[in-house]
Amino acid sequence: MIKTLVLTSSKNYRWMSMQEIIPFITESWLRLNSDEHIVEVVDVDKDNIFKRMKEIISFDNIVCTCFTVEISRTIATFRKVLGMEFKTFFYVHGQATIGLWPLLKWAGDDYLTSNDYLVVSCERDIDCLNLAFKGAKVMLHPFLLGPQYKIDKSQKNSNFIYIGRVSEQKNLHSIILAIKLIEKQMREHHSKFTIIGGTDDLGTPVTGTLPIKYLEYLKNLVSDLSLNDLIEFRGHIDREQFNTILSDQNAIFISSSLHSDENFGVAPYQYLKAGGRGILSDWGGYAQFKDFFEGIDYLDVYQSSHGHFSDISQIARVMEKRLSNTSTIKELDHSLNSYLATISDAANKEYQKDFDIVCATDFAKKILRDREDFYKNTKSDDRNHGAQIFTCFKDQGLHQLTKAYGAKYFKKNNSSSDLIVLPMVELKDHHILITDPHRGSFEISRMAGVEKAYRTFREEAIILTDKEVEYLFGLGYVISFS
């Protein structure tokens, strides 16, 4: 008989998606419960696990549904202090793109062995983990949460909808700028873009980029670009309102997210599963949806010396195509059972006493060292205190992870005469000032070259040299659109 202990916690419930994901993981393991495989669940927030040591010492597997300091320390104590022998199934969630530094810090460099499994929700997390713990056993368990609503496919329209956190990393400003490029066509199709969700006021923690009152920024941008009739902000809604709104319409879900730990995407998955259509960035967990649905429009994510970005002209073209294209998404055959079968096989494998330690790579160790330095050198009341691991968006460590997550190098093609300069660009004395809600503010030195007037989103002229335009084009701050 195999015995599995599932450790769970509600400490990560401040993220709405985790309120569904963690119970989903727990229920997935409970589905394996049988006469031959006993599965028990312990909530570490409520139960003193050490009072049950006589019982727990006989378990073959311990599942960590999420990371908390308490869970990691408990597992490390079981193994290092008490000498217990068991396999661990550790659900990584957003840690793949931060080098697993919390696990490394609180469980230790010698915690992970060849008996253990890191469990991820998308294949690109696997690519990221190879940078941090090369050789670790990794298992795929997507969060295939069924929706509580069904979209009426007969109610086809050309509206767009976003559901999720209103955060700089979600890159909603790029969608708004794209709408400015196709505002005429959207008005002709009576199309609107609705944003549903509350703010998180986090900025970009991994780079220490502070929040900028993003919702206010977006509303000002909509007003400045005269798009108030095309874009609506609905704010946070509860689950009942959410189900009602989505079942009553068949808008196109759009997300150009650049979030550093977009490891799945429950909201878009449920929307597509319910029969909706979608436009998603080819990024992290979103890319996994190619295995589940056919007909999603994907938006490229590009890498540059100043971090990753979306091509706003591509967003505009894809949205414009969808205005008149009412084709539906085809759901491909995918079942949770196939993933559970793989998990069951791993849980039933015999514990190997002759195991190897899976050590952290130099890449992961550097992330932890840098994190500790940032932690010491930032104020305790700093919004990103303890979360920063990269110097800025130019950090090569970040570039390695974003490449693994799907970012590709931009093909420069600024020969077109239809070039537009983004509102983030401003001339200041002897430099160019970039004020980007996602990548932060930074300066670029002026470059000699042939000067020319280029148009902006506000139909104003800005004088730049050809060398400056070429450089800004490669960063995504000058686009080509006609």
Asked if the structure places residue 397 within a domain, the reply is no
Report CA 195 to chain centroid distance, whole Å: 18
- Domain match, 42 and 173 both: no
Give the torsion sign (CA, 102, 137, 407, 142).
Answer: negative
- Domain match, 168 and 229 both: yes
pLDDT of the residue at 240: 78
Output the domain CATH number for residue 18: 3.40.50
- Domain match, 214 and 71 both: no
Q: What angle do CA 114, 120, 122 make, to 5 degrees?
A: 130
pLDDT of the residue at 414: 58
pLDDT of the residue at 413: 65
Asked if the structure places residue 409 within a domain, the reply is no
Asked if the structure places residue 373 within a domain, the reply is no
Q: Going residue by residue through the chain (482 aa), what tens digit of pLDDT does each one get?
A: 999 999 998 887 777 788 899 999 999 999 999 999 999 999 988 888 877 777 888 999 999 999 888 888 888 888 888 889 999 999 999 999 999 999 999 888 888 999 999 999 999 999 999 999 999 999 999 999 888 778 877 666 789 999 999 999 999 999 999 999 999 999 999 999 999 999 988 999 999 998 999 999 999 999 999 999 999 999 988 877 877 777 767 789 999 999 999 999 999 999 999 888 999 999 999 999 999 999 999 999 999 999 999 999 999 999 999 998 877 889 998 889 999 999 999 999 999 999 999 999 999 999 999 999 999 988 777 777 899 999 999 999 999 999 999 999 877 665 667 899 999 999 998 899 999 999 999 999 999 999 999 999 988 899 999 999 999 999 999 999 98
- Domain match, 297 and 423 both: no
Query: What amino acid is encoded at 403 in this protein?
Result: K
pLDDT of the residue at 12: 77
Strand partners, 97: none
User: Across the chain, how many H-helices and E-strands are there?
Assistant: 15, 24
- Domain match, 348 and 301 both: no
Say what angle helices 123-132 and 396-405 make with each other, to 10 degrees.
Answer: 150
- Domain match, 13 and 95 both: yes
- Domain match, 184 and 287 both: yes
Asked if the structure places residue 377 within a domain, the reply is no
Residue 285: which of 296, 347, 368 has the closest Cα?
296
- Domain match, 209 and 124 both: no
- List, as one string, the DSSP characters of 111-160: --BTT-EEEESSHHHHHHHHHHSTT-EEEE----PPPS----TTSEEEEE
- Domain match, 165 and 266 both: yes
> For the whole model, what pTM was predicted?
0.95
pLDDT of the residue at 147: 81
Which residues span the domain enclosing 424?
419-480
- Domain match, 196 and 320 both: yes
Distance CA 138, CA 129 (A): 9
Asked if the structure places residue 387 within a domain, the reply is no
CA atoms within 13 A on the CB side of 322: 32
Using the 8-state DSSP alphabet, how is residue 78 labeled? I
- Domain match, 56 and 180 both: no
The number of distinct structural domains making up the chain is 3
Report CA 379 to chain centroid distance, whole Å: 27
- Domain match, 14 and 127 both: yes
Asked if the structure places residue 370 within a domain, the reply is no
Output the domain CATH number for residue 321: 3.40.50.2000
Distance CA 436, CA 425 (A): 9
Backbone angles phi, psi at 462, to 5 degrees: -130, 135
Examine the fold and report which residue of 314, 331, 348 is the final residue of a domain before the chain moves on: 331
Residue 154: partners with Cβ closer than 8 Å, 6 or more residues away:
250
Asked if the structure places residue 161 within a domain, the reply is yes
Asked if the structure places residue 382 within a domain, the reply is no
